Structure 1
């Protein structure tokens, strides 16, 4: 019975009670305060010194043809932007400045529209460079669209001229009324298609919505405080552990 009581007491002696933990924490509270304040102040300084980031958006409406269709599909234009035009701009900037563009350029197509949406994120200091870069992309995109539009316009004009010749030839023949009517109908359809052609245009160029897209400053401060709290508690107990090890080492 005595041996059992001694073994139980030995077991309890090896355990760490909440009172021991609280005593250790109070003993090393200065370590906790120092770490907590240092990390929190570092978070506040980072939140205040980090410049805000804004999203800059450019919208380009693609060239249209009849029936609400587009000269080139938006997906095709975006593929050219991503795989050809943007890499060319990045390579040119790298060659001129010996560094990469300080922001990314992404392109997308809002659903069920003929718009190409070009987006970049940067702090206000990069606004001028973003506008310049977006304008270069707009110029290239609109030039490409104008070339495609010119090709289609010439094709339609040739078809209309051909039908004019065909109608003139049919008018001199007999029993050609149905053929003439069909040719005139086709010619009118082509003329409608020609008149419905609309060029590409830039609707918005590098416009900021005014909302900070970077991490919230209040969130940074809260996370820094939480990190300081956890780090302070850990280092307080770690300091006590180091102190105990030194005491044991000095006793030996």
Structure 2
């Protein structure tokens, strides 16, 4: 109960002290508040200056299609800015202006291919920030300009080579060389087919003559056989009548005639059954070879005609493909986008520092608690007998 009573006394005592010192507390808080307001009003306002850079792009093959891609990887560009261009520009700027607190940061908005240069300063350094940002951007543009120049030169050379190739394809004299070569091959194959037909006609004529020769030989053989039969009858008659020298001479002549007819018959039969058959077989073989050669030559004619037709189709397709290739290269050349600044050192609409409301509020809170602390300190001194009593030595001493 005593502890509760002491606590109530202490709380009442604190409130009494605060009430007795209310004027000092209010004045102290008001003084701090006024000081905070003055600080907030007198401190220069700091703005954030932003420059937006759109990185150059070139048309690049991606999978089965094409897509505009940055000239360099964004991380590479950021590294160049942070490690190269920004320190270089800030060093030059410090030598010229002696402003050491100038800083430039690089940021990349999410899911974008833009670069942001950001700096914070008051309005009196706006021109220095603008100059610094512009110099940094100029260095980046110059670096990317070299890459673009090389890319343009390469595409320009490819376009020129493509146009020269197109001129070669469209040149009738150049095409005539290929066309005439295939036409000559085709005409030669056609002549070979005609020659083959003529040869076949000659072989057929020879085969027909063999048939006629066969009939003639058969007739001659029959004639010789008849003559031989007649001579044999005459020989038999002459043998019976050969009584004198004249009859013997007649018999000798008959025998010679028979022998001649037999020899002639043998030759005719050899001609009919051997030589003529061999000649017939040879002609048949030549005709079969001729037919096979005719098929081969017809195939050559068709192949040559197909190659000639294919030449016209391929030539037209080559011209179309070359034109498409040139158009594609020109499109890539025309779609090259250089790196450029979309905005340079644009200040924020509102200052980013100082935060006046926070400063004033903080000054008010500090003034209130400081005044209260001072009130309790003065009350403690008072209760201790005042400053004079505290400093005066006691009687015992």
**Distance in 1, Cα, partners of 2:102 & 2:97:** 14
Deviations 1:119-170 (A, max 9, x none): 2222211111111111111211211121111011122233344555666778
1:56 aligns with 2:49: yes
SS of 2:345's equivalent in the other structure is strand
Q: Is the contact between residue 29 and residue 371 of structure 2 (CA under 8 Å) also seen in structure 1?
A: yes
* Counterparts in 2 of 1:124 and 1:135: CA distance versus 1, 3 Å: same
Deviations 1:160-208 (A, max 9, x none): 4455566677885866757776555444322221121122222222222
Aligned residues: 244
**Paired residue for 1:28?**
21
Deviations 1:84-121 (A, max 9, x none): 11111222233344451x33212223334332222222
**Distance in 2, Cα, partners of 1:120 & 1:11:** 60
SS of 1:233's equivalent in the other structure is helix
**Paired residue for 1:121?**
120
1:226 aligns with 2:225: no
* Counterparts in 2 of 1:27 and 1:59: CA distance versus 1, 3 Å: same
**Cα displacement (A) at 1:13:** 4.8
**Paired residue for 2:277?**
none
Q: Is the contact between residue 59 and residue 117 of structure 1 (CA under 8 Å) also seen in structure 2?
A: yes
**Distance in 1, Cα, partners of 2:162 & 2:134:** 41
1:93 aligns with 2:93: yes
Structure 2: any 5+ residue segments left out of the alignment? Answer: 60-66, 179-310
Larger radius of gyration: 2
Structure having the larger proportion of residues in helix: 2
**Paired residue for 2:224?**
none
What TM-score does the superposition give when structure 2 sets the normalisation length?
A: 0.53
**Distance in 1, Cα, partners of 2:32 & 2:157:** 74
Q: Is the contact between residue 57 and residue 70 of structure 2 (CA under 8 Å) also seen in structure 1?
A: yes
Q: Is the contact between residue 28 and residue 240 of structure 1 (CA under 8 Å) also seen in structure 2?
A: no
Q: Is the contact between residue 90 and residue 132 of structure 2 (CA under 8 Å) also seen in structure 1?
A: no
Q: Is the contact between residue 55 and residue 209 of structure 1 (CA under 8 Å) also seen in structure 2?
A: yes
What are the within-5 Å matches in structure 2 for residues 199-210 of structure 1? 199-210=338-349
Structure 1: any 5+ residue segments left out of the alignment? Answer: 1-7
Q: 2:353 aligns with which of 214, 228, 237?
A: 214
1:108 aligns with 2:247: no
Q: 2:35 aligns with which of 10, 35, 42?
A: 42
**Distance in 2, Cα, partners of 1:110 & 1:224:** 37
**Paired residue for 1:243?**
382
